[in-house]
Structure 1
Amino acid sequence: MNLKLYKTYFIKFQSLIALFVICLLISLLSDKFLTVSNGWNVMRQISVNVCISVGMTLIVLTAGIDLSVGSVLALCGAITAGLLSDGIGIMPVDLYIGFTLLGAILVGLFCGTFIGGFNGWVITRFNVPPFVATLAMLTIARGLTLLYTEGHPISGLGENFAYIGTGWLLGVPVPVWISALVVVAAVIITNKTRLGRYIYAIGGNESASRLSGINIGRVKIIVYAIAGGLAAIGGLMVTSRLDSAQPNAGVSYELDSIAAVVIGGASLSGGKGTILGTVLGAIIIGVLNNGLVLLNVSPFWQQVVKGMVILLAVIIDKSNAKSR
């Protein structure tokens, strides 16, 4: 009985245990890890992944997946930077439309939300598998980013915009505040709203949810739209931090977000997972990335280690599911 109880607690807190072990090992190997400046550096770095991963969690809870978030991040960041830097020029009528900082940000967020909603519409309207639909959007959004930027960075975006990614508020980096607000909003949605209950229900049993009167298509479109909007927020933070919109921004970010979701305990089969678990998964990924950099591990080996961690997390999840 005691052994079974211990196993239950281990399964429940396995992500925390993994984070503790990783921190312990890295701190023993590098004296630069357990410092205040490095701690804030890690939190600033994971803020983007937290925002993207929260959206990915909502999708995974419905038994879906979104491979386009990295490309959407890049496209929305580029659009915001382009509008802020150059506005819109309509040459035939000699018309120029300038954008304020708020206006450019709102357009960027709208584009991300629209693309996400379009993904959801394609998936539900034409019954396209989420993997295929979002893989296509990954290529489309990346191509549009390259077309919009002509393959060149868009730089010189001003101090006010840079504050989003590099500023501090009450002693805490602004990106950390933004990601914290996103997490709080997502926790409220999943735990306290009808939409949250519908999301879990669809992931648990889509057929039963349909029979109970839930509008499956509408919920999925909303969920994918939220994920697209959060990818756009991530794009704003990345572009602001670099003071430049890079055409290749966000490459492989979808892998980090999926890793955070899986490590955080969510099931790729849908219906199981929490926002706070995903945040913990994002912290583990961030600490792992930071530690590998501090230990001067080759970037190529970093990809290998990250892939092994994802595989191990999935294996553990499947093993725990069989035990339950």
Structure 2
Amino acid sequence: MPSMAKFQSLIALLILCLVLSLLSDRFLTLANGWNVMRQVSVNICISVGMTLVILTAGIDLSVGSILALCGAVTASLIKNGIAVEGMNLHIGFEPLGAVIIGVGLGFGLGWFNGWTITRFKVPPFVATLAMLTIARGLTMLWTGGFPINGLGADFAFLGTGWFLGIPMPVWITAVIVALATLLTKKTKFGRYVYAIGGNERAARLSGINISRVKMTVYAIAGGLAAVGGMIVTSRLDSAQPNAGISYELDAIAAVVIGGTSLSGGKGTIMGAVLGGIIIGVLNNGLVLLNVSPFWQQVVKGAVILLAVVIDKANSKED
């Protein structure tokens, strides 16, 4: 039974693809396949960071708002630069420089989440919920509530370009997944992450710097949310003030469906990737079948509930 549990996400994906291919002749087409992969790339980016957080028995509700803020800041720097009042100075930014600043901001906001959690012993749910509200408010203040459009072809390549016949968002996501897999499987830091989630008290007694690991994990989650923000903003050629709403829920769903335990200490990056693909395929299939958006939310919620129930059942068996 435990061996079957390892493959339950893959089996669920294959069954889902089979059912959708029977219900819609548009599902199993190359164009739709690439469309699904482009759509899931953002969720997978966020889910990789969320996996690291949940492995430490934490949670991050702020990733959607961080995505929006970092995307808005990057778009503003590309479009308008920075004007220094009183010095008659205007600083312009190339897309690469603006992207580096935007992603750096994401790492910084994530690090602040980790610092708040470890320094003041604030529960992760509360700390990241506060950041969700703060970052969303800052996004509205930064944009004035209006989208920032017309960001140029160079920046648009991130979200809409192709390289060697594969969309750029897929390349970006593949690199992130590969690096995160190496981090969790082949490094001391990865072992620390699992140790903290498995038994934080034992990890502390063994000499692991709990605060440093947690701050790093939340910083990575914020940085990867920012990368997702770059892809979304680039693909739309617009920074939307309301971008990223409920993205944190999709990421948590992908992580749980992929087999990562909400109690921490158990899960894999590839599991989160499979979970993200399942969520993306499900969304795509429901759209192709002309299912009402309201029913789509019901179905997605039911899938998340089922995944948690299965996770709890597997935990009891272990």
The verdict on a shared fold, with TM-score over 0.5 as the criterion, is: yes
The one of 288, 293, 302 equivalent to 1:299 is 293
Secondary structure class of the residue paired with 2:139: helix
Shift of 1:102: 1.3
Secondary structure class of the residue paired with 1:191: helix
Instruction: Encode CA deviations 1:266-305: one digit per residue, 9 max, x unaligned.
Output: 0000000000011000000000000000001111111111
Task: State the distance in 2 between where 1:12 and 1:62 align.
Answer: 20
The one of 147, 170, 175 equivalent to 1:176 is 170
Shift of 1:101: 1.3
Does 2:124 align with 1:130? yes
The one of 196, 200, 215 equivalent to 2:194 is 200
Instruction: Encode CA deviations 1:38-88: one digit per residue, 9 max, x unaligned.
Output: 000000100000100000000000000000000000000000000000001
The one of 23, 27, 36 equivalent to 1:33 is 27
Q: What is the aligned partner in structure 1 of residue 223 from structure 2?
A: 229
Does 2:310 align with 1:313? no
Q: What is the aligned partner in structure 1 of residue 98 from structure 2?
A: 104
Shift of 1:265: 0.2
Shift of 1:93: 2.2
Secondary structure class of the residue paired with 1:187: helix
Q: Which amino acid aligns with 2:157?
A: Y
The one of 217, 220, 224 equivalent to 2:214 is 220
Q: What is the aligned partner in structure 2 of residue 271 from structure 1?
A: 265
Shift of 1:8: 3.2
Shift of 1:317: 0.6
Shift of 1:27: 0.9
- Specify every segment of 5 or more residues in structure 1 that has no aligned partner in the other structure, as ranges: 1-6
Shift of 1:37: 0.3
Shift of 1:91: 2.2
Q: Which amino acid aligns with 2:203?
A: S
Q: What is the aligned partner in structure 1 of residue 64 from structure 2?
A: 70
Secondary structure class of the residue paired with 2:83: strand
Does 2:231 align with 1:255? no
Task: State the distance in 1 between where 2:6 and 2:84 align.
Answer: 58
Q: Which amino acid aligns with 1:233?
A: V
Shift of 1:9: 3.4
Aligned residue pairs total 318
List 4+ stretches of structure 1 deviating above 4 A: none
Instruction: Encode CA deviations 1:129-159: one digit per residue, 9 max, x unaligned.
Output: 0000000000000000000000000000000
The one of 203, 207, 210 equivalent to 1:209 is 203
Q: What is the aligned partner in structure 2 of residue 18 from structure 1?
A: 12
Does 2:79 align with 1:113? no
Q: What is the aligned partner in structure 2 of residue 283 from structure 1?
A: 277
Higher mean C-alpha deviation, range 214-223 or range 83-92: 83-92
Task: State the distance in 1 between where 2:60 and 2:115 align.
Answer: 13
Secondary structure class of the residue paired with 2:86: helix
Shift of 1:99: 0.8
Q: What is the aligned partner in structure 2 of residue 3 from structure 1?
A: none
Task: State the distance in 2 between where 1:180 and 1:122 align.
Answer: 31
Q: Which amino acid aligns with 1:284?
A: I
Task: State the distance in 1 between where 2:53 and 2:15 align.
Answer: 30
Higher mean C-alpha deviation, range 92-101 or range 297-306: 92-101
Higher mean C-alpha deviation, range 149-158 or range 92-101: 92-101
Q: What is the aligned partner in structure 1 of residue 144 from structure 2?
A: 150
Could you tell me the percent identity over the aligned residues?
72
Does 2:42 align with 1:56? no
Shift of 1:320: 1.0
Task: State the distance in 2 between where 1:236 and 1:32 align.
Answer: 29
Task: State the distance in 2 between where 1:232 and 1:85 align.
Answer: 18
- Specify every segment of 5 or more residues in structure 2 that has no aligned partner in the other structure, as ranges: none
Instruction: With the length of structure 1 as denominator, give the TM-score of the two structures.
Output: 0.97
Instruction: With the length of structure 2 as denominator, give the TM-score of the two structures.
Output: 0.99
Q: Which amino acid aligns with 2:178?
A: V
Q: Which amino acid aligns with 1:298?
A: S
Shift of 1:17: 1.1
